[in-house]
Amino acid sequence: MPIIKADLELCQGYANCVMEAPKLFDISDDGIVVVLEEEFGEETRGRVEAAVRSCPVSALRIED
């Protein structure tokens, strides 16, 4: 299964990813992204790609 990788050093907590895919991402008390489900199925790929494109600092990527 493809997985989501987040670069916690780059993340600025802009949370656009959370708006795109609230089931997959959240923000911690420190204001950094939390990946709720690393693995995702093909039916969710569109959403995950939208979340990746919406990150202003390119902190997210998909590993197939």
Strand partners, 25: 35
Spell out the residues 6+ positions from residue 54 whose beta carbon is closer than 8 angstroms to its own.
Answer: 16, 17, 19, 20
Residues that bind another protein (CB under 8 A): 12-16, 18-19, 22, 26-29, 31-32, 45-46, 49-50, 53-54, 56
Environment class of 32 (CB within 10 Å of its CB; exposed 0-12, middle 13-18, buried 19+): middle
Q: Residue 52 Cβ, how far from another protein at the closest point, in Å?
A: 9
**For ligand SF4, what does the binding mask look like between residues 5 and 44, x meaning CB under 6 A?**
-x----xxxxxxx---------------x-----------
The binder of 60, among ligand SF4, another protein, none, by C-beta within 5 to 8 A per type, is ligand SF4
